[in-house]
Amino acid sequence: MHGSPPTRRADATPHAASLVEGLRDIGYSLETAISDIIDNSITAGANRVRIITEVHNEEPLMAVVDDGKGMTEDELIAAMRPGSRNPLAARDEPDLGRFGLGLKSASFSQCRRMTVVSRKDGRTSAAVWDLDEVAERNEWAVQLPDHVEEIPGLDQLGTTGTLVLWQKLDRLSGGLSHNTARRSEIINRRIAETERHLRLVFHRFMQGTKSLRIFLNGRQLQALDPFVKNHPATIVDPEERLALAGGVVEIQGFTLPHHKQMTKSEWDDIAGPEGHLKSQGFYLYRGGRLIVYGTWFGLCRQSELTKLSRVRIDIPNSMDADWKIDVKKSSAQLPPAVRDRLRQVIERIQSASKRTYIKRGQKLVDQERLPMWNRIQANGQIRYRPNIDHPAFSDFADNLSPALQRGFFNCIALVGASLPLEALYADMAGTAEQIVADHVDEATLAQAVKATLQVLMGAGKEINEIISLMKDVDPFRSAWLDTNRIIESTLEMKEHK
């Protein structure tokens, strides 16, 4: 047999100027870019990461400084090389990198000049990528400055560690390079959005035994646990372990407390800017770092009744290819081997979330509790109708003539038939926690309390049971201090008679 004919080859080295501009548009946001820099700090063993911003200068800058193990000059040059590692190679447990692109692509997405200064073994090394120079020279050549004393932020570097400095922030300035005040406002807003992202993405590092501390302009960020594990009302499912070829997947479900069991600031903090409806679903962690959250991976729909459901999924960095983790570490896809198991987890945890809401709803229509509204379910339909047997209605009606009674109950029926269902549904689907019971004045509340007391005491119920029943329904529940005071004064008057 004759050998294969010789193959000709041609140099296809990419043009530096073109490729480096393409790296800018992978799709990083400011928060995912800074997160990628912090990943490197964690991999380098840092305990303290400081983010420094100076946005009011003529030339704004941002810097991330850590106290990790640092790099020699050779290590720094290798780290500045785009594609500095094989994504298929095995990595250490704490290694959060994959492609060797993060430092460069994350930085280029936000700035045109990136300087890295690193200190190790008593030596300080520096390297600079300036995209304007790359465009001019069209060559993959990183600058190695001999004098580093004038580099902004250098004074923040300790005996070991690394400084990543961003200058020429063209992507962050919003095209307002000449309007310093407006540019500063835009950048500050983006930084505020980034703060919550960092508190969430790295919360396990900030809460763990290692206790990573992240500072933003001198202020320490507090970890944001999306599962509220420390709250006594959080429902925690047993952890499941799914052994696959690439490693072990850990799965654990959580049902958050009802918003009535949390303060408004706690509830809003956990919800984030998009609200609880968009925050439910799977929270995928890789090496303890949050990758994707607020999605059911297409296994079910987000709904109001399941918005308290959150599922933690932990994967090792050896499963990146299986989950298709992207360069930005901000998207992933569900492997078929995990899909069936997660479907079972969804069914169980969603039923817990629904029970939390339905249980509270049932209290409002439980006949033992004398509700203001009756829930009537028949013929595949659900109606809410004012309860004309409620003491507040019946006691008042007893004092009316038959003609006035008919008119009174007609008015009550009209109120029930005029419920603004569409508006209620829209509000409940969006911001249920903002919907509150209307306030009633003292005279109205007193009339309802006295009438209810009279009926329940006439039925032979003990006062402790009466208080328990009234405490769970509105309008008494939402004005309980006043209700309790009226009950006590009414009972005192009865004793003196």
Distance, in Å, from the CA atom of 60 to the CA atom of 181, rounded to the nearest integer, reads 12
More confident site: 340 or 83: 340
Q: Tell me which residue of 446, 242, 260 sits closest to 340, measured CA to CA.
A: 242
User: pLDDT tens, 91-130?
Assistant: 444 445 444 567 888 999 999 999 999 999 999 999 999 9
CA atoms within 13 A on the CB side of 358: 8
Poorest-pLDDT segment among 113-122, 131-140, 251-260, 393-402: 393-402
Q: What percent of the chain has pLDDT over 90?
A: 28
Name the pairing type of β-strands 48-54 and 213-216: parallel
- Residue that wins the pLDDT comparison between 293 and 333: 293
Q: Where in the chain is the domain with CATH 3.30.565.10?
A: 16-220
What is the arithmetic mean of pLDDT over 149-160?
Answer: 92
What the block records as the tokens of 485 is: 């005071």
pLDDT for position 497: 62
Predicted pLDDT of residue 173: 66
Q: Which of 117-121, 308-312, 366-370, 442-446 has the highest mean pLDDT?
A: 117-121
Higher pLDDT, 148 or 461: 148
Q: What pLDDT band is residue 89 in, cutting at 50, 70 and 90?
A: very low
Per the CB < 8 A criterion, the answer to whether 435 and 428 are in contact is yes
pLDDT band at 178 (very low <50, low <70, confident <90, very high): low
Whether 99 contacts 321, CB under 8 Å? no
Q: Is 173 left (phi over 0), alpha (psi -120 to 50) or beta?
A: alpha
Mean pLDDT of 340-356: 72
List, in order, residues 6 or more apart from 101 with CB less than 8 Å away: 23, 82, 83, 84, 327
Is pLDDT of 377 > 90? no
Any idea how long the chain is?
497
Average of per-residue pLDDT across 283-304: 88
Cβ atoms of 475 and 437 closer than 8 Å = yes
Cα 388 to Cα 323, 374, 411, 439, 479: the distances in Å are 58, 9, 11, 21, 22
Return the minimum-mean-pLDDT range out of 134-148, 350-364, 464-478. 350-364
Confidence of residue 410 (pLDDT cuts 50, 70, 90): confident
Q: What is the pLDDT of residue 495?
A: 74
pLDDT for residue 105: 87
The sign of the torsion formed by the CA atoms of 68, 72, 77, 81 equals negative
Compute CA distances 206 → 48, 54, 212, 471, whole Å: 10, 25, 5, 40
- The predicted model gives 170-187 an average pLDDT of 73
- Tell me the C-alpha to C-alpha distance, in Å, between residue 483 and each of 39, 435, 474: 55, 21, 10
Can you give the pLDDT at residue 83?
63
- Look at residue 359 and tell me whether its pLDDT is greater than 60: no
Distance CA 229, CA 239 (A): 13
Per-residue pLDDT at 251: 92
Q: Which two tokens stand for residue 182?
A: 């407006």
pLDDT tier, 75 (very low <50, low <70, confident <90, very high otherwise): very high
Virtual torsion, Cα 285, 290, 296, 301, nearest 10 deg: 160
pLDDT of residue 166: 95
DSSP H helices, 202-319, are 203-207, 264-271, 276-279
Pick from 262, 264, 261, 256: nearest CA to 226: 256
Distance, CA of 289 to CA of 36 (rounded, Å): 11
Do residues 21 and 99 lie in contact, with contact meaning Cβ atoms separated by under 8 Å? no
The boundaries of every CATH 3.30.230 domain in the chain are: 235-362
Q: How far apart are CA 268 and CA 466, in angstroms?
A: 34
Band of residue 328 on the pLDDT scale cut at 50, 70, 90 = low
**pLDDT tens per residue, range 385-398:** 888 878 778 878 88
Fold (topology level) of 16-220? Heat Shock Protein 90 (3.30.565)
pLDDT band at 335 (very low <50, low <70, confident <90, very high): confident
> What is the rounded average pLDDT of the residues 476-488?
86
Model pLDDT, residue 175:
60
**Cβ–Cβ under 8 Å, residues 480 and 471:** yes
d(CA 252, CA 281): 12
b/e map 217-250, b = 16+ CB within 10 Å: eeeebebbbbbbeeeeebbebeeeeeeeebeebe
Give the residue with greater pLDDT, 317 vs 173.
317
Tell me what the pLDDT averaged over the chain comes to. Answer: 82
pLDDT of the residue at 49? 97
C-alpha gyration radius of the chain: 31
pLDDT reported for residue 25: 81
Q: What does the pLDDT look like over 37-57, one tens digit per residue?
A: 999 999 999 999 999 998 877
Which tokens belong to 417?
Answer: 């038939």
Question: Which amino acid belongs to residue 38?
Answer: I
Burial of 422-436, coded b for 16+ CB within 10 Å and e otherwise, reads eeeeeebeeebbeee
484 has a pLDDT exceeding 80: yes
Q: Is it the case that residue 360 has pLDDT exceeding 70?
A: no
0.85 exceeded by the pTM? no
Q: Which CATH architecture has domain 235-362?
A: 2-Layer Sandwich (3.30)
- Among 121-125, 159-163, 280-284, 438-442, the minimum mean pLDDT is found in 438-442
Residues 2-27 pLDDT 10s = 666 678 888 777 777 777 777 788 78
